[in-house]
Amino acid sequence: MRVAKFLIITMLSGALCSCARPTVPDGISDATHILSGIERYPQIGPEYVEVFLSEPNFQFKTIGIINARGMANMEMYALRGLASLDVKSALGLQVAGEKEDLTLAMRALKKEAASIGANGVIIKSNEQIQIGYNASERRISGVAIRY
């Protein structure tokens, strides 16, 4: 009788646990920088980094180059009901990705710029790269500035 109760409780707790959605990270993002000059600046918060699509019309100082990338987690989209990725890709539909890749890459870009004290980044290149079957990532390069 005790064994039966244990099995029933174990099965119920397992069923309850399997109903919960697993935690899946949003994806992969990272960034690197190359400093120019010898002057160093204190870190700031990423929320204070401004992104420019072209060179601003005010004085600024170039302090480095930032390279960032972002790749959304395909598993995350499968959990949201986009399990048939091959079919959607074959139909030419945008699948899991470009917007989320951009968000991840921009987050990494701002975080890296903030770590070297840049309060702005001028975007020099922004492209979506196919890195495998059903997989792509956003790559962004920019000039880190202070103004």
Give the CATH number of the domain where residue 73 resides.
3.30.110.70
Which residue has tokens 């470009």? Answer: 98
What is the extent of the structural domain holding 89? 24-146
pTM score, whole prediction: 0.70
Closest by CA position to 99, among listed 137, 52, 142, 51: 137
Whether the Cβ atoms of residue 146 and residue 107 lie closer than 8 Å to each other: no
Examine residue 88 and state whether it is found in any structural domain, yes or no: yes
pLDDT tens across 27-73, in order?
889 999 999 999 999 999 999 999 999 999 999 999 999 999 999 87
| DSSP letter (8 states) at residue 100 | H
Span 141-145, average pLDDT:
98
> Phi/psi of residue 143, each to 5°?
-95, 125
Structural domains counted in the chain = 1
Most confident of 18-22, 108-112, 129-133: 108-112
Examine residue 75 and state whether it is found in any structural domain, yes or no: yes
Examine residue 49 and state whether it is found in any structural domain, yes or no: yes
Which residue has tokens 């987050």? Answer: 107
pLDDT tens across 77-104, in order?
555 544 444 444 444 444 557 888 999 9
